Amino acid sequence: MMVKKQEGTDAKLISPDIAGIAHAVDILRAGEVVVFPTETVYGLGADARSGAGVAQIFLRKGRPSFNPLIVHINSRVDAEIFSIFDSRARLVADTFWPGPLTLILPLRPGQTQIDPLVTAGLDTVAVRVPAHKIPRDLIAALGGAIAAPSANKSGTLSPTTPLHVMSSFGDDSPPIIAGGATRAGVESTILDLSVSNPVILRTGSITPDDLAPILGTIPAVVSDIYDETGRPKSPGLLLKHYAPRTKIRLRAIDVLPDEAVLAFGSTRFLGMRSNNLLRQERSGFVRDMIHPDRFRNLSETGDLVEAAANLFKMLHDLDGTNASCIAVMDIPSIGLGLAINDRLYRAAQST
């Protein structure tokens, strides 16, 4: 039996054999999440192409904001499909991969392998090639990259055994490919190579001294921006966030003719205001009045997972329409709505 129930929990343990890996791939292809070991800690993975799958990661982790995730892939050559390596990045990758080193690199424009929710709309991407058979088999069988943060609830310690994963998620634990205790126990070193002077954003088992001979300089370490749980102490200081060029107006209940609309749920009660006159003639009126390029609905049925999966894609779409402003309808601050509102609020502040 490849899927068995652990006594006393609802966690499904998957064995790391061919049948188990194939089962895990089915789960990923269905837009769901699966936990797997790496040489550092256990990761909570989704198909990096699937916005719905990646939204599940944030839902499961209970993260109050969308932090960009690390993309796991099997080789530097495969990573070059969606990210850009200069000669410095190639040298570093070819020296330390596979292994516990994550590189922040420019996202390749026009790529289709990485959903915008993975990078939280940023134009950089965190990439690493794990040195562990299970994720390598999983990536190969999926035929694509896997986005994965550590497999724990937000604000708790990173898990190094399936038991840690289960105790963090409780009854709600996602399926776990069981691979015993992880070797390193500390998360990968994160090296930002998207900037001219390399910076270590998170220390790990690969040290500045290990990197120095390859980089030709000892990289600066930003050691105190992350707290003990790996969360940035002052978000926004170094962790950039996506900011559209177009102004953003939150909690819109009506729309001006030259605005773009980011809707959520039913637009029945959304009005159109022109010459100071509010018109709300019939259901779907605004929808008919606005150019289709300037209208996006995060989720017509008001589903927050669907909304999360669409958020950055739709903001990018609307940002390119030369509208005077993006009017965003109210989104409830529950579940994933918290993370959606956090990003919208930051975007609104920075325009």
Name the site residues for ligand TXA (rule: CB under 6 A).
38, 40-41, 43, 67-70, 100, 102, 104, 119, 122, 124-126, 148-150, 187-188, 190, 201, 230, 239
3-state secondary structure of 54: helix
Cβ nearer to Mg ion, comparing 158 with 341: 158
Strands (E), 146-188: 146-147, 176-177
- Cα–Cα distance for residue pair 152/166, rounded to 1 Å: 9
- Do residues 147 and 54 lie in contact, with contact meaning Cβ atoms separated by under 8 Å? yes
Shortest distance, position 149 Cβ to Mg ion, whole Å = 5
125 binds, among Mg ion, ligand TXA, none (CB under 5 to 8 A by kind): ligand TXA
Shortest distance, position 158 Cβ to ligand TXA, whole Å = 6
Strands (E), 107-211: 124-128, 146-147, 176-177, 189-192, 199-202
- Contact with Mg ion (CB under 5 A) among 150, 154, 188, 341: 150
52 binds, among Mg ion, ligand TXA, none (CB under 5 to 8 A by kind): none
- Contact with Mg ion (CB under 5 A) among 83, 230, 297, 309: 230
- Do residues 185 and 41 lie in contact, with contact meaning Cβ atoms separated by under 8 Å? yes
188 binds, among Mg ion, ligand TXA, none (CB under 5 to 8 A by kind): ligand TXA
Shortest distance, position 125 Cβ to ligand TXA, whole Å = 6
67 binds, among Mg ion, ligand TXA, none (CB under 5 to 8 A by kind): ligand TXA
| Virtual torsion, Cα 331, 332, 338, 344, nearest 10 deg | 20
* Residues 253-272 within binding reach of Mg ion (CB under 5 A): none
Cβ nearer to Mg ion, comparing 232 with 302: 232
Q: Which amino acid is at 70?
A: I
Shortest distance, position 118 Cβ to ligand TXA, whole Å = 8
Backbone phi and psi for residue 21, each to the nearest 5 degrees, phi listed first: -65, -40
Shortest distance, position 133 Cβ to ligand TXA, whole Å = 15
- Cα–Cα distance for residue pair 249/351, rounded to 1 Å: 10
Stretch that binds Mg ion, among 115-123, 129-137, 147-155, 172-180 (CB under 5 A): 147-155
Backbone phi and psi for residue 336, each to the nearest 5 degrees, phi listed first: -65, -15
Count Cβ atoms below 10 Å from residue 237 Cβ, excluding itself.
10
341 binds, among ligand TXA, Mg ion, none (CB under 5 to 8 A by kind): none
Shortest distance, position 126 Cβ to ligand TXA, whole Å = 3
Shortest distance, position 216 Cβ to ligand TXA, whole Å = 23
* Closest alpha carbon to 262 in 321, 300, 314: 314
71 binds, among ligand TXA, Mg ion, none (CB under 5 to 8 A by kind): none
Shortest distance, position 154 Cβ to Mg ion, whole Å = 8
Q: Parallel, antiparallel, or unpaired for β 70-72 and 124-128?
A: parallel
* Residues 57-76 within binding reach of Mg ion (CB under 5 A): none
- Cα–Cα distance for residue pair 84/75, rounded to 1 Å: 13
Could you tell me how far CA 46 lies from the centroid of its own chain? 9
41 binds, among Mg ion, ligand TXA, none (CB under 5 to 8 A by kind): ligand TXA
* Residues 75-134 within binding reach of Mg ion (CB under 5 A): none
Q: Is 204 one of the binding residues for Mg ion (CB under 5 A)? A: no
Q: Locate 34 and state its tokens.
A: 């699966």
The vertex-237 CA angle with 232 and 239, nearest 5°, equals 60
43 binds, among ligand TXA, Mg ion, none (CB under 5 to 8 A by kind): ligand TXA
- Do residues 81 and 108 lie in contact, with contact meaning Cβ atoms separated by under 8 Å? yes
Residue ranges binding Mg ion (CB under 5 A): 150, 230
